[in-house]
Amino acid sequence: MLIDEVKIRVSAGHGGKGSVAFNTNLMSLGPAGGSGGLGGSVYAEGVSDLSALGQFRFKKEFAAENGMDGRGQFRDGHVGSDLVLKVPVGTVIHNLTTGADIEIQKTGERITLAKGGLGGKGNFQFKSSRNTSPKQSQPGLPGEAFTMRLELKFIADVGFVGLPNVGKSSLLNVLTNAKSKVANYAFTTLEPNLGAYYELILADIPGLIEGSSGGKGLGTKFLRHIERTNILFHFISSESPTPLEDYKTIRKELGLYNKELLEKPERIFLTKSDLLTPAELKKKMAPLKKLDSKAIAISIADDESIKKVQKMLNDIKAKK
Ligand SMILES: Nc1nc2c(ncn2[C@@H]2O[C@H](COP(=O)(O)OP(=O)(O)OP(=O)(O)O)[C@@H](O)[C@H]2O)c(=O)[nH]1
Ligand SMILES: [Mg+2]
């Protein structure tokens, strides 16, 4: 199961206490308390492993090390170790405490999630001409602590949408080396699948139905994985008695989820063309051609039609 949303608590380390101590060397009396060390910070770092959020499935609390307390003889406390959490590229980090959102876009990119607390000053730092033997020190400050929601948004170029059972996964498997599960029933695909067509990433997502946006079927949460795509491939099955109605159903659900999805460029495909006679195909294609002059009928059993899809992808790739 792909984990694409988690809530965690991150805490940076507390700064160490400053020390109150006096020089033990009898020749030079005076304050000698060291300062506390800086608390460790918590960072997030981008990695290419899309399943990296899996590490947060059971463990939810993450804390960097506290700074060590200062000691006598001017010895400052050690700085606490930082904690680096690896998250997949495309993760949006919502800070639920402050309301800030930030996204990890590149592998190796590091952002600060919670800053470590400053260490307290030891009494040596309070020495002045008027107070040559101060007994003051500071306690060290707490590190920042936040509750965060990590949400993975795939960075796919092409999103596959359509009703269940229209052949989305079958096409992904033909075009890429993905092994998306295919079966002759609705909701075979339960989690989004990605496939690489050269440098283009294609995202096959679960089927949508009337009412998905209201929670029917598998809902629409997975649509966030196609929010970033440049183009949508919309699949309609030749088996459908009402291709235009199917088209409208999907568009409605997309719009209810996020209107911006409707503004993306879209290509329409009538799938499983091998199941119809040329005359039947022509009839079912007519209303779709009106919506998209480049709409085509395809079948995974018809190499010529697959070549047309590859040609479209090559054009998209060239423009990227
Ligand atoms: N005849 C024919 N059958 C096809 C074609 N493409 C897919 N199928 C069949 O249609 C059924 C559904 O295919 P899937 O690829 O699982 O469909 P899907 O759109 O991913 O379905 P969900 O994951 O449930 O949304 C399977 O039985 C496939 O073998 C095609 O071009 N021609
Ligand atoms: Mg599928």
Ligand lying nearest the CA atom of residue 271: 1
Instruction: Tell which one of 161, 176, 179, 182 to mutate to probe ligand 1, the residue whose CB is within 8 A of the most ligand atoms.
Output: 182
The alpha carbon of 318 and the centre of ligand 2 are apart by a number of angstroms equal to: 27
DSSP letter for each residue of 160-205: EEESTTSSHHHHHHHHSS------SSTT---S-EEEEETTEEEEE-
Mean pLDDT of the region 90-94 = 94
pLDDT value for 257: 95
Reported as a single tens digit per residue, the pLDDT across 248-298 is: 999 999 999 999 999 999 999 999 999 999 999 999 999 999 999 999 999
pLDDT value for 27: 64
Reported as a single tens digit per residue, the pLDDT across 167-201 is: 999 999 999 988 889 999 999 999 888 888 988 88
List, in sequence order, the alpha helices (H) in 178-319. Answer: 243-257, 260-263, 278-291, 303-319
Q: 269 — phi, psi (to 5°)?
A: -130, 130
Residue 34 CB–ligand 1 contact under 6 Å: no
Check whether 153 has a pLDDT greater than 90.
no
Check whether 20 has a pLDDT greater than 70.
yes
Q: Is residue 1 very low, low, confident or very high in pLDDT (cuts 50, 70, 90)?
A: low
Q: How many CA atoms lie within 13 A of 6 on its CB side?
A: 20
Reported as a single tens digit per residue, the pLDDT across 25-66 is: 766 678 999 999 999 999 999 988 878 999 999 999 999 999
In angstroms, the Cα distances linking 200 to 109, 281, 306, 318 are 22, 30, 16, 10
Residue 190 CB–ligand 1 contact under 6 Å: no
Q: Is residue 154 very low, low, confident or very high in pLDDT (cuts 50, 70, 90)?
A: confident
Q: Report which ligand 1 atom has the smallest distance to the Cα of 162.
A: 19
As a whole number, the mean pLDDT across the chain is 94
The alpha carbon of 260 and the centre of ligand 1 are apart by a number of angstroms equal to: 28
Mean pLDDT of the region 100-111 = 94
Percent of the chain with pLDDT over 90: 81
In angstroms, the Cα distances linking 298 to 46, 142, 260 are 38, 62, 27
